[in-house]
Structure 1
Amino acid sequence: MDLEEMQRSVENPRSRVLVAEAVKCYQNGLYRASLVSLWVAVVSDLTYKIKYLSDTGDRNAKKILDRLIKGLDEDNVPSVQSYERELLSKAEKELEIILKHEKEQLDRLSKDRNRCAHPAYDSNLDLFVPDAEQVRAHLAAAYRIVFSQRPIAGKALIEQLHEQLRGFHWAHSKESFLDIFFTPARGTVKSNIVKSLINMSVSSDEGGDVVERSSEAVYWIAEESRSDFEDALKSVLGARSFGFEKLIKAFGLYGSFPEFWSALGNGNKIQLEQYFVKMESVKLSKSLLEIKPIIYGVPCLEEFSNALRKMFENAEAADFAELVELTDEYSLAGPSVIKRLQKASSFVEARAQWKILVRYGKSMDAESINSLREAIEYNDEKHRSQVSSAFNCMSSLESLYCDISSSDEVANEWKKLVIYLNEQGEHNLEQSVFAELLKPIEDSE
């Protein structure tokens, strides 16, 4: 561990001064003084973290801090000593800002500090003097556990969550996730869990599975508690470290929630407007293909959803297949797929659009199916039935049909489409999953 780099990396500037004192003592061979100074730095830094948690609404932290301040105001030495003596236990069990094994390491530092601050003899009446290796080990542990960490409550639970998110299997349903990680947690821990999940969902350092799992968990929490979701968004979006690329990814994942826009802040909203609304469509599509945000749902604000629809409509043919991979929302990209089907002048082009259309099956309504039939009819007339010929022996059409809900309106439009295709004679639909749909349509009042 580089001691100079360690000092520069200490999170709290007030702690940085205290750590520098401990390091200076160590570098000058004053090992007992170094451990005494290091313990002072640890206690001070943990106290700063407790104050931060108290200021941000953690009731347990406020209770601990109020007791310390009362003892200081009343010059109650036993009370202040009790605070220092109980600090590590409260940090682990009540505040959850350190883990059990980390407390054990800091307990060893506390014990060695006491042996350095007071005459501590062995059986030969020799004073305890730590060696350089012991002191350096304590410095490294204190930095890793305390000085390099931000004040986050619920550390053990969050680490368990991260481990499962990055694991081989993610076996949680909404109910099991909430029961294990969210519902039992107290307020501050809940907030930290949501913030952690949002940050993971927009991180370029995480793999696709982690992004998908963490964003899914955020959706579950949003359904359970919109206030926790919105508060976490405000905190994450307002952080200085939240860069523009993360903002674009957050827009894609959470822009369909009104809470995203209320949490956004004017500066971030202006950036999004400049990017999505005011940027030329083709340029926007190429930029999004570099960032690759996942777009869930339709953005709440109409100017943004319209900008995305326009982008899909105007995207270059070479980019379109990759661009539609960004969203499963039919209303954003689906109409552009149908338009391209309608204009397809070759079998290869039509087949490519069929394959794309299948991904939007679950989102297609009766109006969408009607548009699809009209597009096929137009193509049959203008381009010699490229679309009718291209659905690959019905496999694409069957996949699309199996994905679509079976409301009466949707079923009726499917009947019209299947009857039309059957009449063209390209395929024998009477021997397919569509046989039931070929029965005559009954007029309804």
Structure 2
Amino acid sequence: MRALEDVKNQVRSMTSRRYVEEAVAAYGAGAYRAALISIWIAVAADIIEKIRIMAEQAGPAVQLRDDLDNAIKGNNVNALQGFERSLITRAHKDLELIGSREAEDLARIYQDRHLCAHPAFVSDGEDLFSPSAELVRAHLATAVDALLSQPAVTGRKAIERFGREIASDSFPRDDARLNDHLRASYTDHGTTALKANLIKVVCKETLKPGVPLRQRWRSTRTARELQKITPHLFDEQMRVVLAPAQNLLDDDGLMALATGLCYIQGTWEALHDGTRARLEEMLRSVKPLDLVETHMLFYGALPPEPVAGMLVARLEDVTAPGALRELKGEVSFYVGEGPDPRLIPVLTGLAAEASSYEGGAAILQFINGLAHAMTDAQLERLLEVCLGNGQIRGSVLGNRQIERMRWYGPQGEHARAAWEKWDAPKDAEALGGE
């Protein structure tokens, strides 16, 4: 149970905090009816203050502010009472300050406030409503969490702002900084409704094949960080998006799923058996060049299993002679600075089984794209394998690819020792020739 002092300190507005302090003082004195009335006053005052703040930025808040000012100026009591009665609805529907759940919770405070403040609401022979200490504490926590601790930002405006940010050059490229940005700007002080809507918007963006891969990947990274920040809400809202969307995905949509939400833990479990079967078939049949270049599915860390296993199984096709002949640029560009560590052992195994000069050279060419990320032990194992495979050791093409690794691969002590072993047969042949 949170201390009332901690709850009070979460209130953003100094005006609203003053009313909350009155509620806390009344609670401490055992005046629970007075405390509950003060809680509602804090809620009403906070919504009105936010209306005035938001009216400065135009939008629906302008009309609400003008209606209120006209009623005050004309001393129109009926209009003022009606305005107060509709405050929660307006905060929810018009301004999107709160979600439907928060609106229901705040409406209970309003109803209980009536029971405390209006004796006429009590049936004949009944005592005036007397809220318990627990109810008052619960209402106070609800008011603070749902409204009083939140900034004067509508859900729609926040979503629009995020849309501008994700399309800008200033969007964080580092995941840790992206996480910090999302917390500071959207989740730490955002309503549940805002967070839920942001999750849904981001997940939907990842499923749009018409959006460039770079832009969709930003949405995927955002989704991944949102899952870390609010895991239960994220998983719930991701399933809300996937439930209808996955049945409508064409082949391009399935590849958008593979390059997007499939990088998020729990996505595979949220898919229907039919979608899983279609996605698996797509990843088996898509051209190797498209896997590497168009969809960049070997860039950086692979998706969670079982999709990672499906991609690893395609390495034999990707490294087949001629498979990447039309690749625009070096392999290193398409695997990134930090390629998945699972790739090199599998590729080393393929090199051991290479049955032709061209096949061995093609495998080594792909491995060269990962040479910058290899460890000494991985290089040592690869050279050992290549030394034992005549289709590589005896191939000019294979040796050419091996020599490239000498300069782009690891340069540690064990790596140097591995190169000495590789060079030893050549040195022996040279001495024998003399």
TM-score under structure 1 length normalisation: 0.50
- Once the two structures are TM-superposed, the CA of residue 234 in structure 1 deviates from its matched residue by 0.7
| Structure 2 SS opposite 1:390 | helix
Q: Name the counterpart of 1:139.
A: none
Distance 1:243 1:65 in 2: 40
Confirm whether residue 159 of structure 1 aligns to residue 165 of structure 2.
Answer: no
Confirm whether residue 212 of structure 1 aligns to residue 217 of structure 2.
Answer: yes
Identity %: 12
- Once the two structures are TM-superposed, the CA of residue 203 in structure 1 deviates from its matched residue by 2.3
Confirm whether residue 356 of structure 1 aligns to residue 366 of structure 2.
Answer: yes
Confirm whether residue 62 of structure 1 aligns to residue 104 of structure 2.
Answer: yes
Q: Mark the CA change 1:360 to 1:154 in structure 2 (over 3 Å): closer, same or farther.
A: farther
Counterparts of 1:32-43 in structure 2, within 5 Å, are none
- Once the two structures are TM-superposed, the CA of residue 163 in structure 1 deviates from its matched residue by 0.9
Query: Deviations along 1:242-273, whole A, 9 cap, x unmatched?
Result: 52433433334443554112322344334334
Query: Deviations along 1:250-301, whole A, 9 cap, x unmatched?
Result: 334443554112322344334334544xxxx456647857973635644544
**Aligned partners of 1:339 and 1:375 also within 8 Å:** no
Q: Name the counterpart of 2:323.
A: 319
| Structure 2 SS opposite 1:401 | coil
Q: Name the counterpart of 2:186.
A: 181
Distance 2:185 2:219 in 1: 15
Counterparts of 1:15-414 in structure 2, within 5 Å, are 50=93, 58-63=100-105, 154-171=155-172, 173=177, 174-240=179-245, 243-244=249-250, 245-255=252-262, 257-276=264-283, 281=284, 285=288, 292=295, 294=297, 297-302=301-306, 304-315=307-318, 316-320=320-324, 322=327, 325=334, 328-332=339-343, 335-336=346-347, 339=350, 345=357, 350=361, 353-361=363-371, 364=374, 368-379=378-389, 382-384=393-395, 386-391=397-402, 394=404, 396-401=405-410, 414=415
Count of equivalent residues: 287
Residue 263 of structure 1 aligns to which amino acid in structure 2?
A
- Once the two structures are TM-superposed, the CA of residue 196 in structure 1 deviates from its matched residue by 1.9
**Aligned partners of 2:263 and 2:304 also within 8 Å:** yes
Distance 1:213 1:283 in 2: 23
**Aligned partners of 1:344 and 1:387 also within 8 Å:** no
Residue 387 of structure 1 aligns to which amino acid in structure 2?
G
- Once the two structures are TM-superposed, the CA of residue 313 in structure 1 deviates from its matched residue by 1.1
Residue 408 of structure 2 aligns to which amino acid in structure 1?
S
**Aligned partners of 2:368 and 2:401 also within 8 Å:** no
Residue 398 of structure 2 aligns to which amino acid in structure 1?
V
**Aligned partners of 1:298 and 1:329 also within 8 Å:** yes
Q: Name the counterpart of 2:120.
A: none
Q: Name the counterpart of 2:123.
A: none
Q: Mark the CA change 1:388 to 1:156 in structure 2 (over 3 Å): closer, same or farther.
A: same
TM-score under structure 2 length normalisation: 0.51
Structure 2, unmatched stretches of 5+, are 1-85, 113-145, 428-434
Structure 1, unmatched stretches of 5+, are 1-42, 71-92, 101-152, 403-410, 427-445
**Aligned partners of 2:223 and 2:264 also within 8 Å:** no
Distance 1:264 1:317 in 2: 35
| Structure 2 SS opposite 1:198 | helix
Moved more, 226-235 or 327-336: 327-336
| Structure 2 SS opposite 1:157 | helix
